[in-house]
């Protein structure tokens, strides 16, 4: 099963505020910080045409009585974990796919429900609703991709919120739908497929695999397998345990035009990335920097990476590497988003000692800062640059995933 929560953020807010139960409600970012974007809208709001990711002012034009609630990410994470525990009471094979979607392999539990997957799905749906006031939908299939397609394209749209899609019935239920409706197909890919004469999911499923592989390589095979409902991956409880990189991104409250301002942001992000790496006992040998502007119609910026001589988790070393990438590649265009990641991860138990660099001094600084932050909070000690007009460390400390806790 793929179990999905309806309008998750909005549902959690309505559960916390029963007075909003019969009113259109949306969760949106802070308009004063230029992040007034709809993150979730309840079904009543959607009936007015309010959609996720549209600007708040547009939503209010469609629905002047819309209740706007600021996101509370900590609450959503707690509820998501509670829902995971509920599903784990039915099966021990539960794999989070996102904060509001979870895969569950219920093969071993079906005999308790007379081998009726609908009965089991209803039990899960009912228990989640009783304990959290969040309405769940369930797509059922013989593998993860069919369950996902079933949930997104059928279960979310039917009255019961549950559907069992059999592989030999794909042609009856989803092959007639446009390719854009399929998981993994965006607007750009849809245009490419259209030029190839591929308009529906069925067209994609029947396209010779070699033609798609010659066009897009492995990705061509991936979308072909999705269209045909082919997926060999198991539901895994450890799928997210192996970490390939440690990174952070930050959307800025305004365009940053001066180099020194962007340096401050880079330093703030490096501080957080390296602190997380040290907590996990990891070092990285590859530093990546992403810079982008605010105009999505006219892309500016770059994504570049550099290989370090030795793996590190020292803030100063990652900062210097990131700063070099910035000055080599920045086109002097306004910057609205900065992202930094550390990859090529290895255990931090052993590290290279050098004769000419006093890395022990840098390690001592990082260790002291980490211990103070762990004990007294993220803003208990900051670099002086973070207190300038460009600094974002204080504001970021009050957020989870870019939204207020």
Q: How far is CA 268 from the centre of its chain?
A: 21
Is 320 an active-site residue?
no
Structure tokens at 270: 């490096």
Structure tokens at 161: 């919120």
Is 100 known as a binding-site position?
yes
Q: Which distant-in-sequence residues (6+ apart) come within 8 Å of 261 by Cβ?
A: 389, 390
Contacts 24+ apart (CB under 8 A), 39-42: 39/9, 39/71, 39/403, 40/7, 40/8, 40/9, 40/10, 41/7, 41/10, 42/7, 42/10, 42/11, 42/14
Residue 190 φ then ψ, to 5°: -60, -40
**Torsion, CA 399, CA 400, CA 404, CA 405, rounded to 10:** -110
**Residues 269, 366 contacting (CB under 8 angstroms):** no
Q: What is the spatial distance between Cα 356 and Cα 50, in angstroms, rounded to a whole number?
A: 60
**Residues 26, 40 contacting (CB under 8 angstroms):** yes
Q: Which of 101, 263, 272, 317 is catalytic?
A: 101
SS3 77: helix
Q: What is the spatial distance between Cα 14 and Cα 6, in angstroms, rounded to a whole number?
A: 12
Tell me the binding residues for Mg(2+): 4, 100
Residues with a catalytic annotation lie at 101
Tell me the binding residues: 4, 100
């Amino acid at each position: 099963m793929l179990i999905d929560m309806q309008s998750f953020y909005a549902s959690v807010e309505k559960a916390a505020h029963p007075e909003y139960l019969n009113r259109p409600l949306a969760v949106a970012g802070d308009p004063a910080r230029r992040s007034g974007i709809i993150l979730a809208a309840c079904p009543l709001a959607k009936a007015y045409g309010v959609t996720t990711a549209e600007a708040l002012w547009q939503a209010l034009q469609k629905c002047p009585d819309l209740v706007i609630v600021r996101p509370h990410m900590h609450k959503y994470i707690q509820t998501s974990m509670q829902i995971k525990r509920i599903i784990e009471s039915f099966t021990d094979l539960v794999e989070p796919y996102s904060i509001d979607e979870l895969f569950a392999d219920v093969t071993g539990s079906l005999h308790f429900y007379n081998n009726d997957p609908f009965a089991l799905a209803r039990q899960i749906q009912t228990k989640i609703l009783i304990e959290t006031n969040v309405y769940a939908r369930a797509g059922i299939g013989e593998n993860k991709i069919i369950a996902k397609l079933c949930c997104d394209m059928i279960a979310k749209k039917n009255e019961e919120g549950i559907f069992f899609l059999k592989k030999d019935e794909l042609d009856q239920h989803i092959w007639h739908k446009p390719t854009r409706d399929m998981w993994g197909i965006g607007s750009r890919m849809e245009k490419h497929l259209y030029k190839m004469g591929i308009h529906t999911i069925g067209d994609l499923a029947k396209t010779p695999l070699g033609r798609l592989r010659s066009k897009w390589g492995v990705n061509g095979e991936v979308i072909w397998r999705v269209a045909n409902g082919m997926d060999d991956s198991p539901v895994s409880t450890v799928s997210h345990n192996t970490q390939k990189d440690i990174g952070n991104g930050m959307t800025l409250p305004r365009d940053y035009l001066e180099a020194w301002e962007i340096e401050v942001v880079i330093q703030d992000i490096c501080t957080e990335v390296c602190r997380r790496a040290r907590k996990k006992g990891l070092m990285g040998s590859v530093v990546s920097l992403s810079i982008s502007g605010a105009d999505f119609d006219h892309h500016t910026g770059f994504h570049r990476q550099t290989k370090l001589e030795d793996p590190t988790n020292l803030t100063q070393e990652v900062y210097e590497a990131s700063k070099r990438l910035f000055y080599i590649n920045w086109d002097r265009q306004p910057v609205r988003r900065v992202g930094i990641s550390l990859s090529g991860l290895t255990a931090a138990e052993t590290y290279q000692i050098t004769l000419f660099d006093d890395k022990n001094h840098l390690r001592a600084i990082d260790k002291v800062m980490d211990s103070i932050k762990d004990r007294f909070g993220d803003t208990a000690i900051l670099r002086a640059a973070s207190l300038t007009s460009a600094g974002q460390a204080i504001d970021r400390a009050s957020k989870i995933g870019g939204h207020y806790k």
